[in-house]
Homo-oligomer: A and B are copies of this chain.
Amino acid sequence: MTRTVVASRSKTVIIGFDQPFCVIGERINPTGRKKLAAELEMGDFSTVEKDALDQVAAGAAILDINSGAVFSNKMAEDARYADNNFVEPALMKEMVERVQALVDVPLCIDSSVPGALENGLKAAEGRPLLNSVTGEEERLELVLPLVKKYDVPVVAISNDDTGISEDPDVRFAVAKKIVERAADFGIPAHDIVVDPLVMPIGAMATAGQQVFALVRRLREELGVNTTCGASNISFGLPNRHGINNAFLPMAAAAGMTSAIMNPLQAAATPKKIAERIAELEALGVVFPEGIDPEVLVPLIGLGSAKAGPSKEIEAIKAADFLLNNDPSGAAWIRFNKVAGGDEGARGARDGRRSRRRG
Which residues on A are within 8 Å of B, measured CB to CB?
Answer: 201-202, 205-206, 208-209, 212, 233-234, 237-243, 245-247, 249-250, 252-254, 262, 264-266, 268-269, 272, 276, 279-280, 283-288, 291-292, 295-296, 298-303, 310-311, 314-315, 317-319, 321-324, 327-329, 332-333, 336-337, 340, 342, 344-345, 347-355
Copies of this chain in the oligomer: 2
Q: Are B238 and A323 in contact (CB under 8 A)?
A: no
Q: Are A279 and B264 in contact (CB under 8 A)?
A: no
Q: Which of B242, B295, B348, B354 is close to A234, meaning CB atoms less than 8 Å apart?
A: B348
Most chain B beta-carbon neighbours within 10 Å: one of A246, A254, A321, A328: A246
Can you give 19 A-B contacts (C-beta < 8 A)? A201-B329, A202-B329, A205-B324, A233-B322, A239-B348, A242-B354, A243-B332, A245-B245, A245-B246, A246-B315, A246-B322, A250-B253, A250-B322, A265-B351, A276-B299, A280-B299, A283-B288, A299-B301, A303-B352
Q: Are A205 and B353 in contact (CB under 8 A)?
A: no
Once A233-B322, A253-B212 are accepted as A-B contacts, the answer to whether A351 and B264 lie under 8 Å apart by CB is yes
Q: Are A323 and B241 in contact (CB under 8 A)?
A: no
The dominant DSSP class at the A interface is: helix
Contacts of A303 in B (CB 8 A): 352
Q: How far is the CA of A43 from the CA of B351 in the complex (A)?
A: 27
Most chain B beta-carbon neighbours within 10 Å: one of A212, A234, A268, A298: A234
